[in-house]
Amino acid sequence: MKNQIKTFLRYREFIKELVIKGVKLKYRRSYLGVVWSLIEPLLTMIVLTVVFGTLLGNTDRTYPVFILCGRLLFSMFSTGTNSAMRSISSNAAMLKKVYVPKYMFPLSSVLFNYVIFLLSLIVLIPVSIVLKVYPTWNLLLALLPLLNILLLTLGVGLILSTYAVFFRDLEYLWSVLLTLIMYISAIFYQPTKLLESKYAAILQYNPLFCIIDNFRSAVFSSEFNWGNMFYSLGFNVVILAIGLYVFRRNQDKFILHI
């Protein structure tokens, strides 16, 4: 344990460089650069609002903010896990030639996507102002779901990055699963109806929904569901522990498969 902390400190510069690299390269050679992390969720929000709001007759004024919250958190989860999953094979050249702690790659992938995600949260400010959703002190509670989403993405990312080394098909399978997860996380529909039906468990036991729900409560200053918060925190810690365990157990075999 002491040794691991020492190695981590020795390589903290490296992880910093990897995170900077991820952020820098994501938008390199595009004209608008990092502004895209604001425009993109904004555009998706408009599309979803038109489709689910106007066409399906959802007239709630604050609906775009509702969508935006869900969409931002979900895309953190999906881009973070995807990029962690590919991190080992895309850094194969380096892993074959020099020693670096291998968990640096999934960790930095999740972290740089998290940085971009935090930046993209800025877009909530103008949208909320325009739609007259004013924050109260409750907004501070948003820090909890923001921590939770990081833990969840990291845990799932570690598991995926381990098994994607041995089974390349995981990449395709995961993109299908992500679609499923998107539909069961109440991103563009109101969860109330589903929560009252017999399928409520789908949402209640879905840690990503719990996170999104907590975040929305903080933004809209509605009642904060502590049950959801603690459930997802517990879930995420367990997933992260599993992720660390499987990664550690298999990391020495990576080199033979990449």
Partner 1 sequence: MNNDVAVKVSDLSIKFNLSSEKIDSIKEFVIKTLKGEIKYDEFWALQNINFEINRGDRLGILGLNGSGKSTLLKVIADVYKPTEGKVYKKGKVVPLIELGAGFDPQYTGRENIFLYGSVMGMKRSFLTEKYDEIVEFSELERFIDVPLKNYSSGMRARLGFSIATVIKPEILILDEILSVGDAKFRKKCEGRIADLIETGVTILFVSHSIDQVMNICNKAMILDKGKMVAFGPADKVAKYYNERIVA
Residues at the contact surface with partner 1, assessed by CB under 8 A: 10-11, 13-14, 16-17, 21, 24-25, 28, 93-100, 166-170, 173, 252, 255-257
Q: Considering the complex, what minimum distance in angstroms separates the CB of residue 13 from partner 1?
A: 5
> Which residue, 97 or 198, has its beta carbon nearer to partner 1?
97
Min dist. Cβ of residue 25 to partner 1 (A)? 5
Q: Which is nearer to partner 1, 146 or 170 (CB)?
A: 170
Cβ at position 240, least distance to partner 1 in Å: 24
Query: Six-digit token pair at 203?
Result: 């949402």
Instruction: State the minimum distance, in angstroms, from the CB of residue 92 to partner 1.
Output: 10
For partner 1, the closer CB: 88 or 186: 88
Cβ 30 to partner 1, closest distance in Å? 13
Nearer to partner 1, 116 or 203 (CB): 116
Nearer to partner 1, 21 or 61 (CB): 21
Q: In the bound complex, what is the minimum distance in angstroms from residue 248's beta carbon to partner 1?
A: 13
Decide: 80 and 109 in contact? Cβ < 8 Å.
yes
Q: Are 18 and 84 in contact (CB under 8 A)?
A: no
Secondary structure of 30-79 in HEC code, one letter for each residue = CCCHHHHHHHHHHHHHHHHHHHHHHHCCCCCCCHHHHHHHHHHHHHHHHH
How far is C-alpha 175 from the geometric centre of its chain's CA atoms? 14
CB of residue 161 to partner 1, shortest distance in Å: 15
Question: In this complex, which beta carbon is closest to partner 1, that of residue 23 or of residue 208?
Answer: 23
Which DSSP string corresponds to 127-172? HHHHTT----GGGGGGHHHHHHHHHHHHHHHHHHHHHHHH-TTHHH
Sign of CA dihedral 146, 150, 155, 156: positive
And the tokens for 116?
């971009």
The dihedral region occupied by 224, where left means phi > 0, alpha psi between -120 and 50, and beta the remainder, is beta
Q: Which residues contact 141 (CB under 8 A, 6 or more apart)?
A: 214, 217, 218, 224
User: Quick one: 167 or 199, whose CB is closer to partner 1?
Assistant: 167
Distance between CA atoms of residues 20 and 2, nearest Å: 27
